[in-house]
Amino acid sequence: MTYQIENVDVLTIGAGGGAYPAAFRLAKAGKSVIMTDPKGVMSGNCLYEGCVPSKAIRETGEILENQRRFANLGLPGQIAVDFAKIIAHKDAIQARRYAQHEKELKEYNNLELINGIASFIDPYTILVNCKSGIQRTFKCRHIIIASGSDVFTPAIPGVKLCLTSHDIYKPDPTLKILPKRMVVIGGGYIGLETASFFATFGTKVTLLQRSSQVLSSMDPDMVSTLTPLLHKDINILVNTTIERIESTGSVKQVFYRQDGIQKQVEAEVIVMATGRKAVIPEGTKQIGIEVDNHGIVVGPSLQTRFGHIYATGDVNGRVPLFHAAVRQSLVASHNILGGDKALDYADFVNIPTTIFTLPCAAYIGLTATQARKQGLQLITGQYNFSEDSRAQILETMGGGIRLFFTPGNLRIVGAWIVGTDAGLLIGQIGLAVAKGLTAYDLAAFADQHPMSSEGICHAARSIF
């Protein structure tokens, strides 16, 4: 069978954060652009089952917690949680954003989103198996692989009895009834966030973590500041090895080992949150693109070993966060506009990261503990929310801000925050880190009172 080959300037594999910012920029610059995605919509997993729906659920938890402190409806502290309403709220936000994206797409007639799966035929040719059943073949001047990542589930007996973040956060989710008990397997940010939301809604949560620290790759001082502030109904068990999962009626049992002793915990819902893995489009390796354990190998220009093929976002495994994907996507678009020359570069280090637990924690760049491991001594500026006016107003006095400066020039190279507004404050601090500001710059700025951001100025002043 022969196919008519269509010519296009740029084709993106995926239509998530690694793809569409580039697609729009390139369309704006007059290029013909095709995006492909088997979801048939823009925004990838972030909107489908990641950042946006999980935060929609988180914020209802935050509102609920605040209401509980002041409401007097029936028994004190006994506001009933209508989980169906929480899901409806989440679903509505997803629907609203999909509608918004559909409108945005219509603004360009040189940009098309195809509902289908793309695979490589050769370094310039992409086959798209469309949902409609037809196949389309494209000869592409430039290709952006932005196929993202997917839930990784280990081969544990009984794993099929578990739900994943996909089942909880996708539109019209599988989990519709608030469970009395939940076991979360995995103490990465997805597992810990999920545990935190459900504990707030009234579920008793047991979280099983393989290593000795939840958020195992993150700064231990930040993590040990965060964990005591989490909801009392989250029972975190570390150094556990999961052996199998079984079910009796509607109850499931997780069998695990801790310190060599076999133990068991049961719940109505088991959530497997053991990480995500890069999705590599078919044909990628066959045409000679290098793939390692993290994903497609790229440098800061986002180019693969083929100058005209880029890999952006989760698929390269460098910084698997939506906003990092967006920046990488734009870098790729600039390099495409520059004729596949490395003219723009992604920063893989200075990307703000927030763990959206209740309360949340956030960090950026290099922390003092990480620096010590590299033989570097940083100067730490600190501020505790116990002395903060906004934290006192909100009664969120746990945690604080830590800023890390290099000795000598006092340039800020990293930070962490636990507690009040951490996810917002890391943006302001992140910009300071990314732009190389110093403790003098931060100390001299009149941060606003009575907002938590005044803690940034205080933390900088603490070292003088």
Encode 310-331 in three state secondary structure.
Answer: EECHHHHCCCCCHHHHHHHHHH
Enumerate the H helices of 217-321 as residue ranges.
220-226
Applying CB under 6 A, does 17 fall inside the site for ligand ADP? yes
Q: How far apart are CA 13 and CA 278, in angstroms?
A: 13
Would you say 53 and 93 are in contact if contact means Cβ atoms under 8 Å apart?
Answer: yes
Query: How many residues touch ligand ADP (CB under 6 A)?
Result: 26
C-beta closer to ligand ADP: residue 16 or 191: 16
Binding segment (CB under 6 A) for ligand ADP, from list 41-49, 215-223, 346-354, 379-387: 41-49
Nearest approach, Cβ of residue 312 and ligand ADP (Å): 7
Nearest approach, Cβ of residue 150 and ligand ADP (Å): 7
Give me the sign of the Cα torsion angle 297, 302, 305, 306. Answer: positive
CA distances in angstroms from 271 to 10, 162, 164, 174, listed in the order given: 39, 5, 5, 12
SS3 state at 2: coil
Residues 245-284 that bind ligand ADP (CB under 6 A): 279, 281
Nearest approach, Cβ of residue 118 and ligand ADP (Å): 4
Nearest approach, Cβ of residue 356 and ligand ADP (Å): 17
Mark residues 313-342: x for contact with ligand ADP by CB under 6 A, - for none.
xxx------x--x-----------------
Mark residues 105-124: x for contact with ligand ADP by CB under 6 A, - for none.
------------xx------
Q: Which helix (H) or strand (E) holds 151?
A: strand 149-151
> For residue 152, what is the DSSP state?
-
53, 148, 191, 400: residue in contact with ligand ADP (rule CB under 6 A): 148
Applying CB under 6 A, does 420 fall inside the site for ligand ADP? no
Angle between helices 422-434 and 454-461 (to 10 degrees): 50
Applying CB under 6 A, does 13 fall inside the site for ligand ADP? yes
Encode 58-73 in three state secondary structure.
Answer: HHHHHHHHHHHHHCCC
146, 415, 426, 439: residue in contact with ligand ADP (rule CB under 6 A): 146
Applying CB under 6 A, does 149 fall inside the site for ligand ADP? yes
> For residue 397, what is the DSSP state?
-
Binding segment (CB under 6 A) for ligand ADP, from list 17-25, 89-97, 180-188, 288-296: 17-25
C-beta closer to ligand ADP: residue 348 or 440: 348
Applying CB under 6 A, does 344 fall inside the site for ligand ADP? no
Q: How far apart are CA 420 and CA 319, in angstroms?
A: 25
Nearest approach, Cβ of residue 331 and ligand ADP (Å): 13
Binding segment (CB under 6 A) for ligand ADP, from list 68-76, 145-153, 191-199, 206-214: 145-153
- Backbone region of residue 132 per phi and psi (left: phi > 0; alpha: psi in -120 to 50; beta: other values): alpha
16, 21, 173, 455: residue in contact with ligand ADP (rule CB under 6 A): 16
| Amino acid at position 334, single letter | H
Chain centroid to CA 335: 25
11, 19, 222, 270: residue in contact with ligand ADP (rule CB under 6 A): 19
Applying CB under 6 A, does 45 fall inside the site for ligand ADP? yes
Q: How far apart are CA 271 and CA 194, in angstroms?
A: 9
Would you say 247 and 255 are in contact if contact means Cβ atoms under 8 Å apart?
Answer: no
Binding segment (CB under 6 A) for ligand ADP, from list 25-33, 76-84, 310-318, 378-386: 310-318
Nearest approach, Cβ of residue 276 and ligand ADP (Å): 8
Residues 195-254 that bind ligand ADP (CB under 6 A): none
C-beta closer to ligand ADP: residue 98 or 440: 98
Q: Which helix (H) or strand (E) holds 241?
A: strand 240-248
Binding segment (CB under 6 A) for ligand ADP, from list 9-17, 247-255, 405-413, 432-440: 9-17
Rg (CA), the chain: 24
Q: How far apart are CA 126 and CA 143, in angstroms?
A: 9
C-beta closer to ligand ADP: residue 22 or 413: 22
HSE of 41, CA atoms in CB hemisphere, 13 A: 18
33, 46, 362, 432: residue in contact with ligand ADP (rule CB under 6 A): 46
Phi, then psi, of 36 in degrees rounded to 5 = -125, 140
Applying CB under 6 A, does 53 fall inside the site for ligand ADP? no
Applying CB under 6 A, does 364 fall inside the site for ligand ADP? no
C-beta closer to ligand ADP: residue 45 or 206: 45
C-beta closer to ligand ADP: residue 183 or 279: 279
Tokens 């497609």, residue? 296
SS3 state at 341: coil
Exposed, middle or buried by CB within 10 Å (0-12, 13-18, 19+), for 150? middle
Q: How far apart are CA 401 and CA 234, in angstroms?
A: 24
Binding segment (CB under 6 A) for ligand ADP, from list 12-20, 55-63, 135-143, 336-344: 12-20
Q: Interface with ligand ADP by CB under 6 A: which residues?
A: 13-14, 16-19, 36-39, 44-46, 117-118, 146-149, 279, 281, 313-315, 322, 325
